């Protein structure tokens, strides 16, 4: 008898596992859900679904929530509202504040958390930001193990598991200088921890909306109701609700570097925004395969703080925020991008000395000269990913630049030219949700607005230097 019972028990266990496997859960909304909605009263219906929601979120196939994941503006508003409803929560005795400043005599918030001890009172040269190297990263927990692999396989996203520089802590000296303590990790670890927060909030939002409004709910129709229930939605997100946001060891905090580039000519001052929701005419590959910032508008250049060369073999050169700005400027505004074969070189100097990179080498000399100034504005945490975003401004002599180089459309999207003025920046910040501005872009513009007078003084100083050199 025992010989029969044991195999039967094993078969039952296997069957239960299969029933609750990922593939079966994908059919939940189409098979089980309609039956449950018909058979159970409304109150029991919601209660039964809420009990399984938290277990389901981490198992959902990203493909099944990509429609909500694409609603970045909605998710940002839900995250913002949850922090606003919390009425100034504290974590490790540090108050959690949404980044806000006075714009046109109104207090405006952008979807970033302000990192304590990271924003100087005045403009700070990027070269005065101290980067302290801690070496290799200790293992950071994967909140959603395997998410990066699933995004590659299920959504065909382009994700290269390269090294990235990650934040461990931040402090400020008595001289108002910022110190960033960094290590390195892998991009997959960032996806599985920080980007996992974005995907899990999307899953929680879809779960809650399905409970309240049914599987065929409309985002546009129910936005206001979802915002009213932001705290409950975040409560469903088991990854996010108990996470200590300023403990940078509980996730792989790859650093983003975001730069507002102001081009200054004899006649005008202007900057570009990068629309990553449309492909440029010269596009070689679909930007929809990009892992980050799809469908948004961003400041330019912007990119991950990471080495170009494999193995971080030229660490002293590449572990530098200004060098990252140079590299991203060359790629996103001038369409200069070294061939991937150069990643195997032992130093950046050899890459720049290669005959194929003669123009890139010339631009590096230009960028390192007196025609370019870079300043650090501050740092914030993206509300969706809790990723640290460094915000900077780069002033460029446009006449000197155009004498040698030409601004070109980037293959990742279109460039939109804007006049550099208080009123234009203020209008963009006020309408940042409608303008599809990425949180880091809105934050960069907000801090640039705060430092506008200081930036103009630096521009005037550049003009004086230009006249004296004639």
> Which of the residue ranges 53-62, 290-299, 338-347 would you say has the lowest mean pLDDT?
53-62
Which two structure tokens, joined as six digits, stand for 252? 């792989």
Enclosing H/E stretch for 424: helix 422-430
Whether the CA torsion 130, 133, 139, 142 is positive or negative: it is positive
Which two structure tokens, joined as six digits, stand for 30? 């189409």
Mean pLDDT on 294-304? 90
Q: Tell me the DSSP string of 190-202.
A: HIIIIIHHHHHHH
Spatial CB neighbours of 149, under 8 Å, sequence gap ≥ 6:
188
**Is the pLDDT higher at 83 or at 34?**
83
- Over residues 54-75, the pLDDT tens digits come to 455 555 678 888 888 888 889 9
Note the pLDDT of residue 266.
Answer: 87
Tell me the domain boundaries of the chain: 1-60, 256-468
Angle 309-313-317 from CA coordinates, rounded to 5°: 80
pLDDT at residue 291 is higher than 60: no
How many Å is the maximal CA-CA distance in the chain?
A: 101
Spatial CB neighbours of 466, under 8 Å, sequence gap ≥ 6:
397
**Is the pLDDT higher at 33 or at 254?**
254
In 237-320, which ranges are continuous DSSP H helix?
315-318
Give pTM, 2 decimals.
0.85
- Over residues 128-171, the pLDDT tens digits come to 999 999 987 666 778 888 899 888 888 888 888 999 999 999 99
Collapsed DSSP state (helix, strand, coil) of residue 16:
helix
Note the pLDDT of residue 144.
Answer: 86
Q: Tell me the DSSP string of 72-103.
A: HHHHHHHHHHHHHHTTS-EETTEE--EEEEEE
Enclosing H/E stretch for 403: helix 398-404
- Over residues 377-404, the pLDDT tens digits come to 999 999 999 999 999 999 999 999 999 9
Which two structure tokens, joined as six digits, stand for 5? 């019972």
Mean pLDDT on 337-363? 90
pLDDT band with cut points at 50, 70 and 90 for residue 16 = low
Is the backbone peptide bond immediately before 399 cis, with ω within 30 degrees of 0? Answer: no
pLDDT at residue 113 is higher than 80: yes
Q: Which CATH class is domain 256-468?
A: alpha beta
- Over residues 166-214, the pLDDT tens digits come to 999 999 988 889 999 999 899 999 999 999 999 999 999 998 998 888 8
Q: Tell me the DSSP string of 141-207.
A: P-SSTTHHHHHHHHH--B----EEEEEEEEEE-TTS-EEEEEEEEEHHHHIIIIIHHHHHHHHHHHH
Which two structure tokens, joined as six digits, stand for 39? 């058979």
- Over residues 217-257, the pLDDT tens digits come to 888 888 999 999 998 898 888 788 778 899 999 999 999 99
């Amino acid at each position: 008898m025992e010989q029969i019972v044991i195999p039967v028990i094993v078969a039952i266990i296997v069957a239960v596992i299969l029933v609750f496997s990922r593939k079966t859960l994908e059919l939940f909304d189409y098979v089980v859900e309609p039956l449950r909605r018909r058979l159970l009263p409304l109150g029991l219906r919601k209660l039964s679904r809420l009990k399984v929601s938290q277990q389901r979120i981490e198992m959902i196939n990203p493909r099944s929530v990509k429609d909500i994941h694409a609603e970045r503006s909605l998710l940002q508003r839900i995250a913002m509202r949850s922090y606003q409803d919390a009425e100034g929560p504290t974590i490790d005795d540090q108050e959690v504040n949404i980044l806000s400043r006075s714009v046109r005599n109104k207090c405006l918030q952008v979807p970033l958390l302000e990192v304590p001890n990271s924003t100087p009172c005045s403009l700070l040269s990027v070269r005065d930001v101290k980067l302290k190297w801690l070496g290799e990263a200790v293992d950071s927990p994967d909140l959603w193990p395997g998410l990066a692999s699933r995004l590659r396989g299920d959504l065909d996203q382009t994700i290269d598991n390269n090294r990235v520089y990650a934040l461990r802590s931040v402090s400020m000296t008595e001289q108002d200088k910022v110190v960033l303590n960094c290590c390195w990790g892998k991009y997959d670890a960032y996806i599985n921890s920080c980007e996992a927060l974005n995907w899990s909030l999307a899953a929680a939002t879809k779960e809650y909306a399905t409970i309240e409004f049914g599987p065929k709910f409309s985002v546009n129709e129910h936005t206001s109701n979802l915002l009213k229930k932001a705290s409950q939605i975040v409560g469903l997100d088991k990854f996010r609700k108990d996470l200590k946001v300023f403990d940078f060891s509980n996730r792989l905090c790859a650093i983003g570097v975001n730069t507002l580039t102001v081009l200054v000519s004899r006649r005008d001052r202007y900057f570009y925004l990068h629309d990553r929701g449309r492909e440029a005419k010269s596009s070689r590959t679909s930007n929809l395969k990009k892992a980050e910032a799809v469908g948004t508008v961003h400041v330019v250049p912007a990119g991950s703080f990471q080495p170009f060369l494999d193995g971080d073999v030229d660490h002293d050169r590449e572990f530098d925020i200004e060098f990252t700005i140079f590299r991203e400027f060359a790629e996103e505004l001038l369409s200069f991008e070294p061939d991937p074969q150069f990643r195997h070189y032992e130093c950046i100097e050899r890459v720049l000395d290669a005959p194929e990179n003669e123009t890139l080498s010339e631009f590096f000399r230009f960028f390192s000269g007196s025609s370019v100034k870079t300043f650090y504005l501050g740092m914030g945490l993206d509300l969706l990913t809790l990723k640290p975003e460094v915000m900077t401004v780069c002033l460029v002599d446009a006449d000197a630049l155009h004498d040698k180089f030409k601004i070109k459309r980037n293959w990742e999207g279109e460039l939109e030219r804007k006049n550099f003025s208080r009123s234009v920046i203020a209008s963009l910040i006020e309408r940042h949700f409608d303008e599809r501005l990425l949180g880091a872009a809105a934050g960069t513009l907000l801090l640039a607005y705060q430092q506008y007078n200081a930036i103009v003084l630096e521009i005037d100083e550049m003009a004086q230097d230009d006249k004296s050199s004639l």
